[in-house]
Structure 1
């Protein structure tokens, strides 16, 4: 598992020719130049110069989440934790998908923030609406230790483009089914008060496995759920929830891993080589790998225990396998085999729009229960 900064991931996806639609639209050129200058000075350890450039960038483009993200980093580096928290909060307010700012707020919440400096008599500053909202949310965050707003779940419709996945006996294609159910699942989650969902693909096109995982880090997802359908020998049926493991839990899980990992032969765009921050190497990097895999296994087992679908599906089963799509994102991840297209009864059920809606609703309810 490798964590790369949000901008590094974005740069890498751009180098590979994969365009992603990001909130906030295009960046103002002058503000972008100042922000890049501030980042360069910050990396050189020249914090005062970084702050000067970034403050000017914020004036030019007050809706630029990246600028406030960098201001937070600069203040944090200079030991000004409260100002760091203020700016990370602003960045997250502008862009709720800013995973770095959310992470830093989690770090800052572990220690009491220094008191805010008292205002001098006779002087008062009128806060903008955005600053007032950020102040109120920061106050709530300091009391609860939880970032306000909806938590992001990344839904990955398996396969796409030239990679059709499994095709059932009546012609039901896995890549189409996964997109249909993923769209319904995202709608269910977005209608809740706690979660919002994004898709790794919104239509029938190819997305490399590495780019699907990179989006989880790019957008700061709390959990990545990859949707698939299985095929096996006659007699196999039901929903299976997989977590990542270097070794398969059984022969069936190993067969599923070989089938799903076979999509690599369709990939024409290779992952870019990005510099890995020193903090992600060594013991800390290994700990993050183990922590993410352990959490993913716990969530997969919990979800499987709570899923029951009508008909031949019955209760779900939890398994582990070396699935490449689950290997690497900083957040926990799971892969859900929504049934066997090699099973004629399940294919018939999965083909129906009403059952697809039931499946999406059941998955949304299960995810809500296990994530709290």
Structure 2
């Protein structure tokens, strides 16, 4: 072989080696993990990526499948070990990729779904992610609650919203407590108390560990014809010093305090973690809010929200330290429903080690739920919505302002009604009454 031919052969061999090594090195990304978050109406699949994913996708029928191609990605993860409790997603598996440097994922689906796929940038505690939302078609899991009253008098409906969830852990305490878990426990305790109260019914916006979009939360409350939306959160700040509970209502302008600005920023952060693009600065949301503020129903919602917030602060002040003793205002998306009075309750600072410990204590969470229940029932006994059982009770009942020296037993004897009925009508847990207290006396 001549020197010229040998040199040419070496160049060809080197080129082939570069092509082979290039195809291997081209797999510059990989899937570090997969998390599946099922909810009653949808399933979210999250791929934790080492870097920003380059992807395409398409759907197949008979059987139903969603196929996702990830370019320049290594197949290193064992998908058979991924936990999956979704009714929508039957199986997640690999298939033959388009080329040697990529990965093809197949999601076998149990029913027709609306699909949304998007990449999310790194946001603590997560790196780059690819999010696949599989939304069920129809109204599964979103049944409107009917009245329990044969007479046609409806229940007072309270929508209880546990903040964050699923992909969005909310704030994380120094001991590793997730806000999403703490507030879901409090929300369930509050819902139980409401459901145990005659003439009231609670709707949990989320019942498990999954994310519900910020705007979707108010949509669900409206779908169930809620008279009140209570969003439960646990506060956090840059430093561990701040402590105490607070209650928030919608601001007609931007937040006027550092903490309010921090909360608004945190909500945007949650949108990036769990909702992608559902941020209140969005043009459509601002236009919706502007139009809503022109509606007279907003006046009613704002005034009702403020009054319930004042009642709640009184009750919270008896069981915990208050960060603020007046209702605070901020432009938070979960509060922007024009037709539903809405409040956001910060139950304490999970970023404060002492309050994080309290929030992990069941008795403290029960006390928080009791305080919220007491304030809500007290307001609605005074101002029941039209057409409810409580509105009829108010028409039928009498009221008595407690004078010095009067007791429940004395009032029961005077009005010829039992002590237990007076206590039930006023949501009293003991026989103690205060001078000046206005009691409902059932007939």
User: TM-score, normalising length from structure 2?
Assistant: 0.48
Q: Of residues 295, 311, 321 in structure 2, which corresponds to 1:302?
A: 311
1:268 shift after superposition: 4.5
Other structure's SS at 2:166 match: coil
Check if 1:267 corresponds to 2:275.
yes
The answer to whether the Cα contact below 8 Å between 2:271 and 2:278 also exists between their aligned partners in 1 is: no
1:187 aligns with 2:192: yes
Moved more, 293-302 or 226-235: 293-302
Structure 2 residue corresponding to 1:170, chosen from 166, 170, 175: 175
Q: 1:338 aligns with which of 328, 344, 347?
A: 347
Task: Report how far residue 343 of structure 1 moved.
Answer: 1.1
Note the C-alpha offset of 1:228: 0.5
8 A contact 1:244–1:297 mirrored in 2: no
Describe the SS at the equivalent of 2:305.
helix
1:153, 1:192 → 2: CA distance? 12
Q: How far, CA to CA, are the matches of 1:254 and 1:270 in structure 2?
A: 18
Q: CA RMSD in A?
A: 3.1
Quote how far apart the aligned CAs of 1:344 are: 1.1
- For 1:290 and 1:218, the matched residues in 2 are separated by 21
Q: Distance in 2 between matches of 1:339 and 1:321?
A: 17
**1:242 matches 2:237:** no
Write the deviation string for residues 81-134 of structure 1: whole angstroms up to 9, x where unpaired.
xxxxxxxxxxxxx9239xxxxxxxxxxxxxxxxxxxxxxxxxxxxxxxxxxx86
CA offset digits 1:196-245 (Å, max 9, x no partner):
10101110011101110101110100000000011123432111100011
Measured in 2, the distance between the counterparts of 1:283 and 1:171 equals 39
Secondary structure of residue in 1 paired with 2:247: strand
Highest relative contact order (Cα 8 Å, sep 6+), 1 or 2? Answer: 1
Provide the rounded CA distance (Å) in 1 between the counterparts of 2:342 and 2:292.
21
Specify the alignment match of 1:219 in structure 2: 224
Counterpart of 1:21 (choices 124, 141, 158) is: 141
- The structure carrying a bigger strand percent of its residues is 2
Figure out how many residues of one structure are paired with residues of the other and give that number. Answer: 237
* Structure 1: runs of 5+ lacking an equivalent: 1-9, 25-93, 98-132, 139-147, 272-280
Q: Is the 8 Å Cα contact of residues 157 and 182 (structure 1) preserved in structure 2?
A: yes
Q: Is the CA contact (8 Å cut-off) linking 1:214 and 1:329 kept in structure 2?
A: no
Q: By percentage of residues, which structure has more helix?
A: 1
1:251 matched to 2:258? The reply is yes
Shift in Å, 1:255: 1.5
Separation in 2, partners of 1:344, 1:166: 13
**Paired residue for 1:96?**
147
Q: Cα distance, 1:320 vs. partner? A: 0.5
1:34-183 alignment, distance < 5 Å? 95-96=146-147, 137=151, 148-183=153-188
Q: 1:261 to 1:298 in 2, by over 3 A?
A: farther
1:151–1:202 distance in 2 versus 1, CA, 3 Å: same
Quick one: distance in 1 between partners of 2:305 and 2:193? 22
Q: Distance in 1 between matches of 2:199 and 2:166?
A: 32
Q: Secondary structure at the match of 1:255?
A: helix
Runs of 4 or more above 6 Å deviation: 281-284
Paired residue for 1:367? 376
